[in-house]
A and B are shown apart, each in its own frame.
Chain A
C-alpha cells in the first residue's frame, strides 16, 4: 500500500524534443512555492523519440543536479511527463448490471465496475502508464457519484494510456540511475491543460493543443473530464525545417526568420515585403520575400492543425461509433487553447480559426514567476500544478483496491 502523503518537495521533469526543463517546488502552509528551475537544450531526441540514450541520460542528470543545487536539497522522487506518439490512449469501459432489487448502487457495485474496466489487458508488450477517469454513466446518464443512486446499468470508463514496456523501463531506469524514484507519470497534454485551461473551460468543453518542437499533443475535455487525447509526430521543428528547405538557409537562420517574420496566416500583402536576414545589409546579409516565409509556415501550421482535427475526429468516432460527432462550437464552446513553443507564432489563433473553425487563444500558464509565463513553459508549469493538485490521484496507477477507489474519488 502506498499511502504516504505528498512529500513537501515536489520535483517535475519534462523532457521535450527541444528543451528539457525541471522544476522543484515545496508545499509551505498548503501553498506551493517554486524553489529552483533548470532548463537545458535536449540532445538525443528527434521527433519525440529517443535516439541517443547516453546523451539524454547525461542531460537529465545535469538538469536534476541543477535543480538540486538550486533548491539546496536532494530530490527523492520526480514526476515525469509522458507524451509523444509512443504513448497511446484508448478508452476502456467497465460495466455492471446493478444486482439490488431496488436498483440502488452500492460501493461494491462501483468497485466491481472499476475492476471490470481494469481487467482489460493492454496489447502484448505494452504497459499501462495511467488511467484518467471519464464520466460515470448510470443508465446512460452521466452522474458525478453513482453510490446511493438508483439505476440498472452502471458504466465506468477511463482514458488509459499505454506505452511500450521497453520505453517505460528506459525512462524509469534513467531516473533510478540517480537513486531517484519515479513517483508517477503525467500525460504531457494533460499537464499543459492544467496550466492554461480554467475549470470552466474544461466544464464546457475545450481542446488544448500543445505544439512543441517535435510533437503536437492534444487533449479534449468535455464536461470536466478527459474525453480523449492524442499526439502527432509534427511540431515546431517541422516549421523550421520547411523554411530551411524552401529558402535554402541553415536551420539557425530558419529558426530566427520563423520567430521574427513567421506567421500562421499568409496574406497577399506579405508578397510585397522584402525582409533582410540580419538587417545591417552588410556582407553576408540576405534578403527574402516575406510572402515566401509566411506561405511555407502557414501551409505547415494549418496542415498540422488539420491533422489534429482528423486525429480528434478519429478518436471521437472510436468513442461514439456512428454518431458522426463534429468538432465545432457546440462540442468545445471554449474553443482551442494553444500551448507549447509554436503557439508563439504570429497569427496562430487566426490560423486555428481558419483551419478548425474554432475560436482560439494562446494559453499563458498561470504562475508566480514572470519568466515562466510563456506558452512554451505550459508543460512544466502544468506538470507542477498537476503534481500538486490533480495528478497523484488521477495519474497514479492505483495499486490496491482501496487505493483505486480513493483514486477515483479524489480526481
Chain B
C-alpha cells in the first residue's frame, strides 16, 4: 500500500462484510475498503481482507460468542493497527448481535480512534424475531461502540423492513437498507474527493465530532425530476436512519452534502440545505459541500451527518451521594427512547402477550412493517 486512503470503509463480521461487498460497485474510487471477519468464507476474493482469529476459530465463525470475537480481534491487533494507520476517516460497517460484529468491532473502533482517525460506525441491529439474547448482546455492543466511535448510527432492521411494501421480495428489503446506508457513506466519501464545487476536508468532519460518543444523526435522501433538490431534502428528513429508536433528530452541527447532475443550481442546493437545517438544526456549525456529477443527470442526492456534543456527565450527582462516579450510559443519549418503550409504548415493561408467536403489544404497523404516510 503506497499511501493510506483518506477514507477507509471497514466491513466487520459477516453482516458488515456482505453489506460492504454489496456497496463496493457504487463507491467512489478514493475510498479504501477492508474486510475483517473470523469466517474466511465471508471474506470476498480479490479485495483487501484480514482474517481474524485464525488460531481461535480456525477459519470458522464465532458461533455468536462475543468473547471469542473479541479474542479473535485482539490476536490480530498488530495487523489491524497497520491497516488503519494513516486514514483520516474510518467508517465501520457491522451487524451487532453476532460474535465478530459485537466482539471485534468495539476493539477495532478503539484501535482506529487511537490511530488518530475520525471513526464513524454504522451498525445494524438484529430483527426483533431474532430473539431476546441477540437483542441484548446487540444493545450491549451498541453501548460499547457508541462510547468509542466519534459517530455511531444504529440501523434498525425492523425499521428498514417498514420502508418496503409488505409484498416486496427479501432482496428488495436488503437493497433498501443498502440504499440508505450506502447513500450516506457515498455522500461522505464523495465530499472529500477532488472536484467538489464547495469542497470539504476530513478535518471539517473532525470538527463535527470533536470527541467520541457524540449523539449522531445520519440521513440520506434522493429526488428526481422537477424540484429534485427539495424532494431529496424531504426524503432525507424522512430517512428511517434518523427516526429509529434512540436516534437524535436535532443536532448542533451538521454536515450536508448535496450532489446532483450538471443542471444543479446554487438556489436548488441552498434551498435543500435550508430545508435540512430546518428539520435537523445545525445552529452551531453547518459544513456544506456540493458537487456535480454527470452520472447523476436529473437526480439530486442529499446526505446529512450531524452531531451534538455528548451530554456532559453529571458530576454533581456524586456529591449528593447518588451514583457517584458511575453514570448510566443509556441516559447520555436520550432517556426515554429505550427500545422496549419505543416499540411497545405504554405496555413497555409489562409482560409480553404472545399470540400466534408474536408479541401483540407491539403496534401492528411495526410488526407488519407498514410504512406510514409522512407528517405534514
Instruction: Point out residues on A near B: beta carbons under 8 Å.
Output: 46-47, 232-234, 237-238, 240-242, 244-246, 251, 271, 274, 287-289, 291-292, 295-296, 299-300, 303, 307, 310
Contact = CB atoms under 8 A, between A and B. Distances in A.
Interface string B275-313: 000000000000000000000000000000000000000
Contacts of B372: 246, 292, 295-296
Contacts of A251: 345-346
A245 B376 contact: no
Contacts of A299: 364-365, 368, 370
A289 B375 contact: yes
Given A232-B355, A241-B345, A289 B365 contact: no
B347 interface: yes
A296 B355 contact: no
A307 B373 contact: no
Contact of A289 (B344, B361, B364, B373): B373
Contacts of B375: 287-289, 292
A292 B373 contact: yes
Contact of B373 (A46, A244, A291): A291
A287 B363 contact: no
A245 B373 contact: no
Contacts of B361: 238, 241
A300 B364 contact: yes
Interface string B356-376: 100011011110101011111
A252 to B, nearest CB: 11
B355 A242 contact: no
A289 B374 contact: yes
Contact of A303 (B350, B364, B374): B364
Contacts, number: 75
Contact of A241 (B346, B355, B374): B346
Given A246-B363, A300-B363, A233 B373 contact: no
A244 B346 contact: yes
Describe A's contact surface by its main secondary structure. helix
B363 A233 contact: no
Of all A-B residue pairs in the complex, the 7 with the closest CB atoms, nearest first, are A242-B363, A245-B345, A299-B364, A291-B373, A241-B345, A274-B376, A300-B364
Interface of B: 342-347, 350, 353, 355-356, 360-361, 363-366, 368, 370, 372-376
Among B343, B372, B373, B375, the one with the most A-chain Cβ atoms within 10 Å of its Cβ is B373
A292 B356 CA distance: 26
Nearest to B366: A245
Contact of B360 (A233, A240, A310): A233
A289 to B, nearest CB: 5
Contacts of B347: 46-47, 241
B345 A295 contact: no
B234 to A, nearest CB: 14
A216 to B, nearest CB: 11
Contacts of B353: 47, 233-234
Contact of B365 (A46, A237, A242, A291): A242
22 contacts: A47-B353, A232-B355, A233-B360, A238-B361, A238-B363, A240-B346, A241-B346, A241-B347, A241-B361, A242-B345, A245-B345, A251-B345, A274-B376, A288-B376, A289-B373, A289-B374, A289-B376, A292-B372, A292-B373, A296-B364, A303-B368, A310-B356
Contacts of A246: 363, 365, 372
Nearest to B374: A289
A246 B368 CA distance: 13
B373 A241 contact: no
Nearest to A290: B373
Contacts of B342: 245
A288 B373 CA distance: 10
B364 A242 contact: yes
A281 B346 CA distance: 28
Contacts of A245: 342-345, 363, 366
A279 to B, nearest CB: 15
Contact of A296 (B343, B365, B374): B365
